[in-house]
Structure 1
Amino acid sequence: MFKRVLIANRGEIAVRMVRACRDLGIAAIAVYEPGDEGALHVRLADEAYPIMAQLGYRDPDAMLAAARTSKVDAVLPGYGLISEHPGFAQACEAAGIAVVGPGSTVLSRVRDKVGAIAHARAVGIPTTQPSSRIFMPDEAQALLSEADSVGYPLVVKACAGGRGRGTFVARGPDDLLGVVRRSSAAAQSVYLDAQVYLEKAVLPSRYIEVPILGDHHGNLIHLGERDGSIQRNTRKVIEETPAPNLSQAQREAIWATAIQVARLFSCRSACTIEFVLDDEGNHFFTEVKPRLQVEHPVNEMVTRIDVVREQLRIAAGLPLGFAQEEVHLQGHAIFCRINAEDPWRGYLPSPGHITGFRIPGGPNVRVDTYAYAGAEIPVRYDSLLAKLVVWGPTREECIRRVHRALQEFQITGVQTNLALLWLILNDDAFIAGTYTTEFSRRRLLEMPPVSDYTTDLAAIVALAYLQRTQAAHRAIPEAFTSGWHRDSRRLPQ
């Protein structure tokens, strides 16, 4: 097992990885940008080193230099930032530093998403229909011609990263080029790669993800599936496992295809195989996420398998400690992504100083976060603030527990999407488990308030109005300044 591991990330996932290392007796080495010295992952790590490059955490050369300086055995990149950078993984491998992840060969193979789909289709795996190649945003005529060939509606997707940032739907030629520019700009901003490709949209559809673990001894297992169809601002904000309204036959077919795809691309460590389901329940492979995913805790809750711990063991050359038949999927889990953003103002980020932070507790309630009262939410990184994951023996009990946990969660100083999550979880389509990706187009913020809370809301509004309009400074009553109290003490004349 490793003795020293560099945590090549920040935020809540860095905190998560520091804890996993320390649980295994590994020294966790953090990195930080100027201004991030007080971050929680830095406080919890055994050592910390500054990253002074302009790109900060996203600079692979600076991260490799930190790994060499700190004399670590391995680098744990998590997700985002440089986690899918083949050049960084290859440089670490050349320097004799293990990468806790799939490795540079797998990263390079699945980074070509158009080629990956074609490769899967060639061996008989059902896939989505992508464009024939990737594009830069200034190839207007080529994009329009290719879109006509693929057919509308279609999805414009970033070549780097995954289905999320840089993913938008174009429903006709009139909005294609504008959507491409938005997608490319988002991809350049987040992944430093402006290339995009097109994919025939399946509408309505569901996004089903299957996380897998593979070692270097030929062992490969899945951890069930989860439904990530509910998105806001191109991010999956609620996921659940098992996916609702799937038959056992459908689940097993999806699991089998996921294992087939993982073997096709020689996936190692933690990867996720993503599918799109049409309204008839047919599943189509769309891409491989060669890294840990944001939503991984939801599968951990139903399997009781620590995915980051297994990543570290696999990278150290150890075999998986269990076979597929030993993976037991028990109960139901729901994941809520809590962002520092304002849903009432177009999901604008809400950076700033957290003045109050109280997390929910109780049985089977988990919160992964880097936040605390007094923490600073930065401007330049993702608005992800915390992840709430709840388990219950049934879906109904799990939903009730999520309701309770969201009511207990209190964050002040920055705006969050807690109220939006509450609206989604109380929506009839969610409760019935019949939602699709079209759910993300609903204008939930315009829904009327639940009648049970109308009186409470009126009282809250009244108190808020009084607080906002009351005098800002202490005032002395006029009667007190008139001298009546002095007159009352005068002796009779």
Structure 2
Amino acid sequence: MFRTILVANRGEIAVRIIRTCRDMGIRTVALYDNSDLSSLHVRLADECVQLSSGALYHDAAAIVQIARDHNADAIHPGYGFLAEHSAFARACEDAGITFIGPSSTTLEKVRDKIATLETVRAAGIAVPRHSPHAYRASEWEALRDAAERLGYPLVLKAYSGGRSHGTRLVREPAQLESMAQHAHSAALTAFGDERLYLEEAFLPAHYLEVQIVGDRHGNLIHLGERDGSIQHNHRKVVEESPAPYLTDAQRKELWRQALAIGRLLGCVSTCTVEFVLDSQGRFYFTEVKARIQVEHPITEMRTGIDLVRTQIQIAAGEPLGLSQDDVALRGCAIQVRVNAEDPWNHYLPSPGHLRRFRFPGGPGVRVDTYAYGGCDVPVRYDPLLAKVVAWDDTRAGALGRLRRAVADFAISGVQTNLPLIQRILDAPEFTAGTYDSEFTRRPLPGAEVPPEHLRNLAIAAALAYIRRGIDSSGALPDRAHSGWHRDSRKLPQ
């Protein structure tokens, strides 16, 4: 087993990895920049190293050198940054440092999104219609022609990365040019590759993902599915497991296809196989995320399996240690993503100093976060502040616990999306489990403010105005004029 692991990430996922390493008796080295200095992962790691280059967490060469300098046996990339970069995995391998994740060969294979789609289609599994090539910003005419052949609506996707960066839904031709410009820029910033490819869009649809885990001895299992249909900017705001609308036959077929794709692509470690379910009940494979997911705590709550520990053990060459029959999928788990942003002001990020940060607890509730009262929410990174997961034997019980947990949060110093999350959880569509990918485009209930709330706001505003107008000049109390008070302030003679 490894003696020292360098965590090449930040925020809540870095905290998550460090805590598992501490459970396993493994020493950790954390990375940080100036804006991350007060983050919890800096306080929990055994050793911390400041990143000095301008590329920060994207500087593969600097991170490998830090691992060498601090005698790290392995590097855990978390998610984002360098987690799916085959060149980084190869640099670790060349340096004799274990990359905790799939091999560089597998990463290279699944990063070629078009080739992956074609490989899966040739195996008899349905995939969306897509463009045969990826296009640079300079190839606008070719991209437009491909869009016309494919038809609308369609999705622009980054050729070298995941859904959140460089992905844009284009509903009509008039949107294509501006969407393509934004997508090219986002893909270049996130992945160093501006190329985009096109894929048909299914509206409405459900976004499904199956967690699979494989070791280096040929064992491969699934850990159930998750639904991530409620998104903003292609990031899941709410995700749950199991998907509430699937029949038993659909669920088993989804698992079967995910395992077949995992074997086909040689997936090792934790990978997520993603699908779209259209309105006719047909599955379409879309891509593989060859890393741990933001939403992995949902699966951990249902299975009792520590996925980070499993990743580390597999990377160390250990067998998986359990078969498919050993996996027990219990109850229901639902996760919400708490962001430091203002959803009522175009989701403007809200960095700042956290004056207060009280998070919920209680039975069946888990919170993953890097934050605490007194720490800073940095400007340059994703606004993810915390992930809250609730579990119960039933979906109704899990939803009740999650509503309670969200209401228990107390955060001051930054704006958050907690009010929006509360309205999503209270929406009849979500309560019934009948939502789909168009959920966030429809008006949410509760937008109208009750008259009593307006009355209370008016009273609070009036009191604040009166209080501000009161003379606040200082005055000494009577006791301050007593002889005792004057004598107490005399200096010794």
Q: TM-score range by the shorter chain?
A: over 0.9
Inter-CA distance 457–313: structure 2 relative to 1 (3 Å threshold): farther
Give the deviation of 1:461 after TM superposition: 5.3
> What is residue 104 of structure 1 aligned with on the other side?
104
Contact 1:333 1:395 in 2 (8 A): yes
Give the deviation of 1:50 after TM superposition: 1.6
Q: For 1:313 and 1:61, locate their aligned partners in 2 and report how far apart those are by CA, in whole Å.
A: 25
In structure 2, stretches of 5+ residues that fail to align are 478-493
> What is residue 490 of structure 2 aligned with on the other side?
none
> What is residue 155 of structure 1 aligned with on the other side?
155
Give the deviation of 1:84 after TM superposition: 0.8
Counterpart amino acid of residue 54 in structure 1: G
Q: For 2:412 and 2:472, locate their aligned partners in 1 and report how far apart those are by CA, in whole Å.
A: 28
> What is residue 230 of structure 2 aligned with on the other side?
230
The answer on 1:244 being equivalent to 2:244 is: yes
Give the deviation of 1:404 after TM superposition: 0.5
Give the deviation of 1:448 after TM superposition: 2.0
Give the deviation of 1:231 after TM superposition: 0.7
Q: Which moved more, 1:120-129 or 1:190-199?
A: 190-199
Q: For 1:370 and 1:207, locate their aligned partners in 2 and report how far apart those are by CA, in whole Å.
A: 28
> What is residue 385 of structure 2 aligned with on the other side?
385
Over residues 193-246 of structure 1, what are the superposed CA-to-partner deviations in whole Å (9 max), with x where a residue is unaligned?
Answer: 322111001111100000111000101011100100001233110000000111
Over residues 392-429 of structure 1, what are the superposed CA-to-partner deviations in whole Å (9 max), with x where a residue is unaligned?
Answer: 11011111111100110111100000000001111111
> What is residue 212 of structure 1 aligned with on the other side?
212
Root-mean-square deviation (CA), in Å? 1.8
Q: For 1:58 and 1:157, locate their aligned partners in 2 and report how far apart those are by CA, in whole Å.
A: 21
Inter-CA distance 477–78: structure 2 relative to 1 (3 Å threshold): closer
Counterpart amino acid of residue 423 in structure 2: L
Inter-CA distance 472–357: structure 2 relative to 1 (3 Å threshold): farther
Give the deviation of 1:65 after TM superposition: 1.3
Give the deviation of 1:35 after TM superposition: 3.5
Give the deviation of 1:191 after TM superposition: 2.8
> What is residue 484 of structure 1 aligned with on the other side?
none
In structure 1, stretches of 5+ residues that fail to align are 481-493
Q: For 1:472 and 1:102, locate their aligned partners in 2 and report how far apart those are by CA, in whole Å.
A: 64
The answer on 1:428 being equivalent to 2:428 is: yes
> What is residue 488 of structure 2 aligned with on the other side?
none
Contact 1:165 1:235 in 2 (8 A): no
> What is residue 488 of structure 1 aligned with on the other side?
none
Displacement over 6 Å in runs of 4+ = none
> What is residue 43 of structure 2 aligned with on the other side?
43
Q: For 2:374 and 2:274, locate their aligned partners in 1 and report how far apart those are by CA, in whole Å.
A: 38
Contact 2:423 2:446 in 1 (8 A): no
The answer on 1:119 being equivalent to 2:116 is: no
Q: For 2:244 and 2:192, locate their aligned partners in 1 and report how far apart those are by CA, in whole Å.
A: 36
Inter-CA distance 321–345: structure 2 relative to 1 (3 Å threshold): same
Query: Where in structure 2 are the equivalents of 1:124-139 lying within 5 Å?
Result: 124-139=124-139
Give the deviation of 1:42 after TM superposition: 1.1
Give the deviation of 1:445 after TM superposition: 8.3
The answer on 1:455 being equivalent to 2:452 is: yes
% identical equivalent positions: 51
The answer on 1:191 being equivalent to 2:191 is: yes
Give the deviation of 1:128 after TM superposition: 1.3
Q: For 1:160 and 1:293, locate their aligned partners in 2 and report how far apart those are by CA, in whole Å.
A: 17
Contact 1:208 1:275 in 2 (8 A): yes
Contact 1:420 1:445 in 2 (8 A): no
Contact 2:156 2:169 in 1 (8 A): yes
Contact 1:164 1:236 in 2 (8 A): no
Inter-CA distance 461–382: structure 2 relative to 1 (3 Å threshold): farther
Contact 1:341 1:348 in 2 (8 A): yes
Contact 2:35 2:376 in 1 (8 A): no
Inter-CA distance 22–476: structure 2 relative to 1 (3 Å threshold): closer
Contact 1:406 1:418 in 2 (8 A): yes
3-state DSSP of counterpart to 2:14? helix
Over residues 304-346 of structure 1, what are the superposed CA-to-partner deviations in whole Å (9 max), with x where a residue is unaligned?
Answer: 1100000000000001121111100100000000000100110
Give the deviation of 1:138 after TM superposition: 2.8
Give the deviation of 1:171 after TM superposition: 1.8
3-state DSSP of counterpart to 1:444? coil
